[in-house]
């Protein structure tokens, strides 16, 4: 019960309208470990991790726009 975000809402006296943030928050928390592994792989051999991640982002964005 303590790990269920819906329980937090009702314990805090919230309303049903406040439920819209729950899916995004739980997905973010659920996917975090896999995202950290991808980040570590992408920046493992780089001199500047920021530039590596930026380059990957731009390449991915260009590929998505081409589709």
Note down the domain range covering 20. 5-66
From the number of C-beta atoms within 10 Å of its C-beta (0-12, 13-18, 19+), residue 59 rates as: exposed
Nearest to 35 by CA among 27, 24, 47, 46: 27
- Per-residue pLDDT tens, the chain, 67 aa: give them: 667 766 666 666 666 666 666 677 777 778 888 888 888 888 888 899 999 989 999 999 999 999 8
Return the structure tokens found at 36.
């950290």
């Amino acid at each position: 019960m303590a790990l269920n975000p819906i329980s937090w809402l009702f314990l805090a006296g919230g309303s049903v309208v406040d439920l819209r943030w729950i899916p995004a928050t739980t997905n973010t928390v659920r996917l975090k470990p896999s995202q950290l592994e991808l980040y570590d792989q992408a920046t493992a051999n780089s001199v500047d991790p920021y530039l590596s991640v930026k380059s990957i982002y731009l390449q991915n964005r260009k590929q998505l726009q081409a589709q």
